[in-house]
A and B are shown apart, each in its own frame.
Chain A
Amino acid sequence: ETGVTQTPRHLVMGMTNKKSLKCEQHLGHNAMYWYKQSAKKPLELMFVYNFKEQTENNSVPSRFSPECPNSSHLFLHLHTLQPEDSALYLCASSQLGTSGQETQYFGPGTRLLVL
């Protein structure tokens, strides 16, 4: 399944580092999402981009900075993270329309460890 790809798959970074996560969708969708998945917690929606415009920011700390240059690419820029930010970061995409039949497709995720 290569509909939604994410790189890198694994990342270890110090609290003073700056890194970026990349997501690319090959499904022709118009919306992209960042989720955080921590152990024993439900998936937490972080950001939503609809037609490249950010439509949702779920009270995410400013040390996470999303960027959506076009409808196929989504980045998550990371700086001065904390150890509690260690998690699996998942990207998803969907086709938003008027039918109401929105289905999100996920990438494989980036496993992030902050030391």
Chain B
Amino acid sequence: RKEVEQDPGPFNVPEGATVAFNCTYSNSASQSFFWYRQDCRKEPKLLMSVYSSGNEDGRFTAQLNRASQYISLLIRDSKLSDSATYLCVALSGGYQKVTFGTGTKLQVIP
């Protein structure tokens, strides 16, 4: 079983739709969680950090559920420019262990 698991998708959604991604992690020692965005063949870039209290940035909301060991990303009012692969990341021991999920591909359709 992978330490961080994501549904690979692709998720094909129309513009304006709301889409949610989930990510589960198996290492209970994981302390910090992030969502990164990766455009095709480009480097990953931090989208947002994930806190137990939730984190909202414009159309994006991230949540952490430590009891169930999953994190989520909600994108409201999807834009064409949101089309990308979204990577879930878990850290343990600070940056001593950085584990990426395989990513969920989102395609927003006109």
A binds B: no
Which residues of A does B touch, CB under 8 Å?
none
Which residues of B does A touch, CB under 8 Å?
none
